[in-house]
Amino acid sequence: MLDRLCLLALCAAYIQGPAMKLADFPGAVAEMAQFGLRPAPVFAAGVICFELAAAAMVVWGRGRVPAALALAAFTLAATFVALRFWQMPPGAERIGATNAFFEHLGLAGAFCYVALRGRRA
């Protein structure tokens, strides 16, 4: 039970994010377009489906290892696309982006740990 709660907490952003995108699909499309991902509606739908499916797999255990590795890879890719703090001028926005960048690295590391732990089980 506690394991599942911890996995749910780890996946919280991958449940909340797609829920927000579903609630405001035009906003999700605009977000994809902002990052240069085209066709934006296809990317938005794909991200929603991927995040929800992979999070469910991690939480419930079916395909946990590949899902955790996929979320780690996705998180790293999205981090390097969306949080390019090194290109920002000094200031509050850069500090926030830098913090978020390293928080996302931590998330990716946690998913790798889940995958390693799952392989050993």
**What one-letter code names the amino acid at 95?**
I
**Which residue matches tokens 């500090």?**
95
Which residues lie below 8 Å from residue 113, measured CB to CB, with a gap of 6+? none
pTM of the full structure? 0.94
Q: Per-residue confidence of the chain (121 residues) as pLDDT tens digits?
A: 999 999 999 999 999 999 999 999 999 999 999 999 999 999 999 999 999 999 999 999 999 999 999 999 999 999 999 999 999 999 999 999 999 999 999 999 999 999 999 988 7
Question: How high is the pLDDT of residue 120?
Answer: 82
Q: Would you list the DSSP string of 28-59? A: HHHHHHHTT-SSHHHHHHHHHHHHHHHHHHHH
Q: Which domain holds residue 74?
A: 2-120
Dump pLDDT digits (tens) for 91-121. 999 999 999 999 999 999 999 999 999 988 7
Vertex 104 angle, CA 91 and 57, to 5°: 155
**What one-letter code names the amino acid at 108?**
A
Number of domains in the chain: 1
